[in-house]
Amino acid sequence: MLFDLLIPWVIAAAAITWLVIMWQNRPPEPQSPPPPPVVVDRPYAPAEIIVSVIDIGILFVNGDGIVLMHNPAASELLNLQRDGVGRTLISLIRDHQFDEFVRDVAVRCESDEMLLPMRNPARTLRVSARPIIQPDDDVIVILLIRDITQLSQLERSRRDMIASVSHELRTPLAALKLLSETIASNPPPEIAQRMARRISDEVDALTRLVNDLHDLSQIEAGRIALQMSPTDVIQIVERAIERIQPQADSHHIEVNHTVLSGLPMMLADAGRIDQVLLNLLHNAVKFTPDGGYITIGAQLINLPHDHDVLPGIPIDHNAGEWVAITVTDTGVGIPSEHLPRVFERFYKVDQARTRGSGTGLGLAIARHLVEGHSGKIWVVSTVGVGTTFICTLPTA
| Sites of contact with ligand ATP (CB under 6 A) | 212, 279, 283-284, 287, 329, 331-332, 334, 342, 347-349, 358-364, 387
DSSP state of 59: E
49, HSE (Cβ side, Cα atoms, 13 Å): 10
We find the least distance from the C-beta atom of residue 365 to Mg ion, in angstroms, to be: 9
Q: Note whether 359 binds Mg ion by CB under 5 A.
A: no
Quick one: what does residue 99 bind among ligand ATP, Mg ion, none, with the CB cut-off 5 to 8 Å set by partner type? none
Query: Nearest-CB residue to Mg ion?
Result: 362
We find the least distance from the C-beta atom of residue 344 to ligand ATP, in angstroms, to be: 8
Q: Work out the angle at residue 210's Cα, subtended by the Cα atoms of residues 209 and 212, and round it to the nearest 5 degrees.
A: 65
We find the least distance from the C-beta atom of residue 202 to ligand ATP, in angstroms, to be: 14
Q: Measured in whole angstroms, how far is the alpha carbon of residue 68 from the centre of its chain? A: 40
We find the least distance from the C-beta atom of residue 11 to ligand ATP, in angstroms, to be: 52
By C-beta, is 108 or 214 nearer to ligand ATP?
Answer: 214
By C-beta, is 279 or 392 nearer to ligand ATP?
Answer: 279
340 exposure class (CB count in 10 Å sphere: 0-12, 13-18, 19+) = exposed
- CA-CA distance, 185 to 191, in Å (whole number)? 11
Omega of the bond prior to 289 within 30 degrees of 0, cis?
Answer: no
Q: Note whether 387 binds Mg ion by CB under 5 A.
A: no
Q: Note whether 288 binds Mg ion by CB under 5 A.
A: no
Report whether 71 contacts 54 (CB < 8 A).
yes
141 membership: H or E segment, kind and range: strand 139-147
By C-beta, is 326 or 387 nearer to ligand ATP?
Answer: 387
Quick one: what does residue 6 bind among Mg ion, ligand ATP, none, with the CB cut-off 5 to 8 Å set by partner type? none
We find the least distance from the C-beta atom of residue 279 to ligand ATP, in angstroms, to be: 6
Determine the length of the chain: 396
By C-beta, is 286 or 373 nearer to Mg ion?
Answer: 286
Rg (CA), the chain: 29
Report whether 6 contacts 69 (CB < 8 A).
yes
Residue count at the site for Mg ion (CB under 5 A)? Answer: 3
Q: Note whether 375 binds Mg ion by CB under 5 A.
A: no
By C-beta, is 115 or 385 nearer to ligand ATP?
Answer: 385
Quick one: what does residue 323 bind among Mg ion, ligand ATP, none, with the CB cut-off 5 to 8 Å set by partner type? none
By C-beta, is 231 or 359 nearer to Mg ion?
Answer: 359
Among 84, 331, 362, 375, binds Mg ion (CB under 5 A): 362
By C-beta, is 99 or 215 nearer to ligand ATP?
Answer: 215
By C-beta, is 77 or 364 nearer to ligand ATP?
Answer: 364
For Mg ion, which stretch binds (CB under 5 A), given 7-15, 135-143, 194-202, 353-361?
353-361
By C-beta, is 71 or 387 nearer to ligand ATP?
Answer: 387
Q: Note whether 283 binds Mg ion by CB under 5 A.
A: yes
Q: Note whether 386 binds Mg ion by CB under 5 A.
A: no
Strand partners, 297: 326
We find the least distance from the C-beta atom of residue 387 to ligand ATP, in angstroms, to be: 4
Q: Measured in whole angstroms, how far is the alpha carbon of residue 190 from the centre of its chain? A: 47
243 exposure class (CB count in 10 Å sphere: 0-12, 13-18, 19+) = middle
Those residues with Cβ within 8 angstroms of residue 40's Cβ, 6 or more apart along the chain or in another chain = 49
Q: Measuring CA to CA, which residue among 383, 372, 344 is closest to residue 360? A: 344
We find the least distance from the C-beta atom of residue 391 to ligand ATP, in angstroms, to be: 13
DSSP 165-201: HHHHHHHHHHHHHHHHHHHHT---HHHHHHHHHHHHH
Backbone angles phi, psi at 222, to 5 degrees: 70, 25
The residue ranges that bind Mg ion (CB under 5 A) are: 283, 358, 362
